[in-house]
Chain A
Amino acid sequence: MAKGKQTCKILKEIRKQIAAENDIEFITSECTHKGDCKGTCPKCEAEVRYLERELEKRQRMGKAAVFAGMSLGTLFAATSCNTSTPVQQPLEGEPYIPDTTEMSNQKDTIPDDAYLLEGDVLAPVTDTTMKEEKKTSCKKDEPLAIVGDIEEVDWATEEGVTEGVIVPETGEIEDPEKEVYQIVEQMPKFPGGEVKLMEYVSNSIQYPKEAKENGVQGIVYVSFIVEPDGSVTIVKVLRGIGHGCDEEALRVVESMPKWNPGMHGGEPVRVSYQIPIWFKLEDSQE
Chain B
Amino acid sequence: MPETTRARIFGISRHRLTTDGEGVTTLVAFSGCPLRCKYCINKASWEVEKSRVYTPEILFEEVKIDQLYFLATHGGITFGGGEPLLQVDFIKAFRELCGSQWQLLAETSLNVPFENVEALDAVLDGYIVDIKDMNPGIYEAYTGKENKTVLENLQWLLEYGDPKRITVRVPHIPDFNTDEDVSRSMEQLKTLGVLNFDEFNYIIR
Contact = CB atoms under 8 A, between A and B. Distances in A.
Is B truly associated with A? yes
Contacts of B29: 148, 150
B107 interface: yes
A238 B61 contact: yes
B51 to A, nearest CB: 6
Interface string B115-134: 00000000000001010000
A125 B18 CA distance: 22
A266 interface: no
B202 A151 contact: no
A130 B15 contact: no
Interface string A258-269: 000000000000
Interface residues of B, number: 59
A14 interface: yes
A147 B52 contact: no
A38 B15 contact: yes
Contacts of A239: 12, 62
Interface stretch (A70-78, A171-179, A202-210, A249-257): A70-78
A131 B71 contact: no
A165 B58 contact: yes
A262 B11 CA distance: 34
B65 A132 contact: no
B62 A238 contact: yes
B74 interface: yes
B156 interface: no
Contact of B200 (A133, A145, A167, A274): A133
A267 to B, nearest CB: 25
B15 A152 contact: no
Interface in B141-188: 169, 171, 173-174
Given A150-B27, A153-B44, A72 B73 contact: yes
Interface in B1-49: 8, 10-20, 22-24, 27, 29, 39, 41-44, 48-49
Interface string B74-85: 100010110000
B65 A72 contact: no
A145 B16 contact: yes
Contact of B68 (A51, A151, A156, A238): A51
A18 to B, nearest CB: 5
B72 A17 contact: yes
B13 A151 contact: yes
A133 B172 CA distance: 10
Contacts of A52: 67-68
A27 interface: no
A148 B174 CA distance: 20
A223 B64 CA distance: 12
Contact of B17 (A69, A127, A144, A221): A144
A148 B42 contact: yes
Interface string B179-205: 000000000000000000010111111
A147 B62 contact: no
Contacts of B71: 65, 67
Contacts of B171: 132
B17 A70 contact: no
A160 B50 CA distance: 6
Interface string A1-22: 0000001001100100110000
Given A72-B24, A163-B53, A239-B62, A148 B69 contact: no
Nearest to B37: A130
Across the A-B interface, give the 10 residue pairs with the lowest CB-CB distance, nearest first: A150-B11, A130-B39, A130-B202, A133-B203, A156-B50, A143-B19, A148-B80, A148-B107, A133-B201, A153-B11
18 contacts: A14-B69, A14-B73, A18-B68, A52-B67, A52-B68, A72-B17, A72-B18, A76-B17, A132-B201, A132-B202, A144-B16, A145-B16, A150-B13, A150-B27, A156-B10, A164-B58, A223-B61, A238-B58
Given A148-B29, A165-B54, 17 more contacts: A14-B24, A45-B65, A69-B74, A72-B24, A72-B73, A127-B205, A130-B205, A145-B16, A147-B107, A147-B128, A148-B20, A148-B130, A150-B29, A165-B52, A165-B58, A165-B62, A238-B61
Interface of A: 7, 10-11, 14, 17-18, 38-40, 45, 48, 51-52, 55, 65, 67, 69-70, 72-73, 75-76, 122, 125, 127, 129-134, 141, 143-153, 155-156, 160-165, 167, 221, 223, 238-239, 274, 276
